[in-house]
Amino acid sequence: MKLRAIRHELGISAELTELAKVRQWVRTVLRGLPANIVGTAVMVVDELTSNALRHGRAPYHVRLLTGAAKLRIEVEDAGGEPARRRAPSEQGGRGLLLVERCAAAWGQLRRPGGKTLWAELPTGQDTAGAPG
């Protein structure tokens, strides 16, 4: 499947129950990609979204920016505190470490109205040199 450069966006409420809705949305948007890519994307989106819901503030937006060679995941919230990795413990602290290990690149953008955490995953769909 060839991905066109498209921006998909989903607004969510502050309820942790929204995580199931977000996971299903990601599976629907990425339908047709290899299962391992979809699974990794679902896991990364789930981690970034749960982090935003636990530590950020509404409004929350989840974006998938699909392209030929990569998928960019963005989770935006209105919280002013930057996200930081914590030492893993029984209370958590594994989410951003997991994102770091799964993504080709990740980071955060701070802006006057909050922050956006992002991660990029290779899709294996690079079409350079492919016959047209």
Reported pTM:
0.85
Q: Determine the Cα angle at 44 with ends 41 and 46, to 5°.
A: 105
Residue positions counted in the chain: 132
CA distance 56 to 33: 31
Instruction: Report the candidate in 117, 44, 20 with the shortest Cα–Cα distance to residue 78.
Output: 117
Q: pLDDT tens digits for the chain (132 residues)?
A: 455 578 999 999 999 899 999 999 999 999 989 999 999 999 999 999 999 998 899 999 999 998 878 999 999 999 988 887 776 667 666 778 889 999 999 999 998 889 999 999 998 765 443 333
* Residue 49 Cα distances to 5, 102, 118, 125, angstroms: 22, 15, 11, 25
| CATH number of the domain bearing residue 117 | 3.30.565.10
Domain count, the chain: 1
Residue 1 lies in a domain: no
Structural domain for 88, as ranges: 6-122
Residue 113 lies in a domain: yes
Residue 130 lies in a domain: no
Residue 129 lies in a domain: no
Residue 66 lies in a domain: yes
Number of H helices, E strands in the chain: 3, 5
